[in-house]
Structure 1
Amino acid sequence: MKFADFETFKMAYEEAGSGLPILFIHGYPLNRQMWQPQIHDLSQDAHVIAPDLRGHGDSTPTEGVYSMDLLAEDCARLLDYLNISQKIVLCGLSMGGYISFAFARKFLDRLAALVLTATRAAPDTEEGKLNRQRSIALAKEQGIAPIIETMIARVLSPYTLANRPDLVQAVRQIMQRTSLQAVIGDLQGMMERIDSRPFLKQISVPTLIIHGKDDTLIPIEEAQAMQADIPNCRLLILENAAHLPNLEASERFNQAVREFIKTL
């Protein structure tokens, strides 16, 4: 682990390998550790970079809304800090996908390709916004523990919950390293994010969508709708995986990303 020291916070990150840069953006309420199978495996083929977003993992927290634009700008600053001028592959999961859309809108010229995982282009529904407001109130009152237990049950597939206790505990431990500021800031940022659907037809880089068949947080139909609108896009659906297919089906996920980047 290393740190990039920015004016307002310190961003922790891991990097490994050489060649084509792949920047992995984690989801909520997670950190770079969720990408360990990818860091270990794909660094044999590429220059893998996995940051902790502000307030997550080993990165220091800040107060206020963690907008998707702000978090995208943090990622661009990390690339500048690492002197990476080469076009990158950007891989974002869930909230990391929302950040990827913000990054693509702002810095499309920095992208070689996109990998969108367990995410959607649509904004929150009114019901979704209300649920996030409830989560913010709960976190302020009781801390992050009840948020984590609710998320565990929702992000993992029934198969994983029943048969892979080690993975369930690993995800729990990753989530426990998220600050209260980040939980609240993320929820506010996701609640306020814009509709990315009108932007999809402007995505001019090759795009791979990977989605877990058992994902109930973001149904497969959302992935299919994105595939229909992004010009150069393919969709892979993974069995026995829900909202964290990179962990629940890591070998198949890594193989798909490896094959995808070989075509670039």
Structure 2
Amino acid sequence: MSTITLPNGHPLEYVEVGEGGIPLLLVHGYPLDQSMWKPQMEGLHGVRCIAPDLRGFGASCFSPAPNTLSEHADDLAALLDALKIERAVIAGLSMGGYIAFEFVRRHRERLLGLILLDTSPRPDDEATRAARNTTIERAASEGVGPIALALGAKLFADGVTRKMRDTVISLMALTPRESIIAASTAIRDRADSRDLLPTLANTPTLVVVGSEDRLTPPDVARAMAAAIPGATLVEIDGAGHLPTLERPAETTAAMQQFLDRLPAGR
């Protein structure tokens, strides 16, 4: 992995694969790290893949996790600055999608395109906010293990292998409790992004969703794609909330087809 120092003095770790080609910034979900994009980093062609460990996660776990998604978005802009990349495609899954929406708000001029995977523009409803508060309380009192187990029961389609489920649960369990608390707070308090969708007419957008996603179901993705002028929707059959890992070939192919239609840019 490589490291940059952010303007606030904190380090940010990232993996970069591929030279030349269109820059693609891969923003992981919660509470994971850049390794959830490994099949795409290995499978995409003609693409410069850049996958950070967001602050508080993975190899960046020693940097404090921001309490707002806008701070994560600014970290991404700082990463592009450090790599001398003017514009990039932003791909975000779940929490990564929420961060992508903040990137649109704060750094729209740097977008070549958007890939929104298993995410939602809607804010949390009251029941979901209450559930996040419970997660925050459990992380503080019980640690991360029980939270990782509970999430592992919801993330995947029914046909996922036990090995994959156990691997992802183990990865989530490594997340510091402070990062779980900060991220849960940031997600709970995120803005309603539905007003952004009609403004993306000039931003090529791909929406991807697992057909068995129970956290952000296909109906949410369909409505989101319908509200974005010219957006492409791809449903990954047999995948849950993590199609990048559950159905890597199909997800990578959908991303490759979308990226191949874009003009190269830096």
Q: Same fold (TM over 0.5)?
A: yes
Structure-2 separation of matches of 1:226 and 1:59: 31
Report whether the alignment pairs 1:173 with 2:170: yes
TM-score norm. by structure 2 comes to: 0.94
Amino acid at match of 2:215: L
Report whether the alignment pairs 1:157 with 2:157: yes
Name the structure 2 match of 1:48: 49
Contact 1:62 1:181 in 2 (8 A): no
Contact 2:199 2:228 in 1 (8 A): yes
Structure-1 separation of matches of 2:95 and 2:62: 17
Name the structure 2 match of 1:70: 71
The offset of 1:220, in angstroms, is: 1.1
Deviations 1:57-89 (A, max 9, x none): 00044557521111111111111111112x211
Amino acid at match of 1:106: R
CA distance 1:64–1:178, shift in 2 (3 Å) = closer
Name the structure 1 match of 2:252: 254
Q: Secondary structure at the match of 1:237?
A: strand
Contact 1:61 1:181 in 2 (8 A): no
Name the structure 1 match of 2:27: 25
Name the structure 2 match of 1:136: 136
Amino acid at match of 1:233: A
Structure-1 separation of matches of 2:28 and 2:158: 22
Contact 2:14 2:53 in 1 (8 A): yes
Contact 1:9 1:60 in 2 (8 A): no
Structure-2 separation of matches of 1:91 and 1:229: 18
Name the structure 1 match of 2:124: 124
Identity of aligned residues (%): 36
Where do residues 1-264 of structure 1 align in structure 2 (5 Å cutoff)?
1-6=1-6, 7-18=8-19, 19-42=21-44, 44-63=45-64, 66-85=67-86, 87-160=87-160, 164-203=161-200, 204-264=202-262
Structure-1 separation of matches of 2:193 and 2:84: 29
Deviations 1:229-257 (A, max 9, x none): 10120111111101001110100000111
CA distance 1:8–1:136, shift in 2 (3 Å) = farther
Structure-2 separation of matches of 1:186 and 1:241: 24
Structure-2 separation of matches of 1:252 and 1:63: 35
Contact 1:65 1:188 in 2 (8 A): no
The offset of 1:176, in angstroms, is: 2.5
Amino acid at match of 1:35: W
Structure-1 separation of matches of 2:191 and 2:156: 27
Pairs aligned (count): 259
Contact 1:2 1:12 in 2 (8 A): yes
What residue ranges of structure 1 are gaps of 5+ in the alignment?
Answer: none
Structure-2 separation of matches of 1:224 and 1:21: 27
The offset of 1:22, in angstroms, is: 0.3
Structure-2 separation of matches of 1:153 and 1:145: 13
The offset of 1:173, in angstroms, is: 2.7
The offset of 1:40, in angstroms, is: 1.1
Structure-2 separation of matches of 1:261 and 1:20: 8
The offset of 1:180, in angstroms, is: 1.3
Amino acid at match of 2:203: V
Structure-2 separation of matches of 1:251 and 1:97: 21
Amino acid at match of 1:202: T
Contact 2:204 2:231 in 1 (8 A): yes
What residue ranges of structure 2 are gaps of 5+ in the alignment?
Answer: none
Structure-2 separation of matches of 1:64 and 1:116: 22
Q: Secondary structure at the match of 2:159?
A: helix
The offset of 1:166, in angstroms, is: 2.0
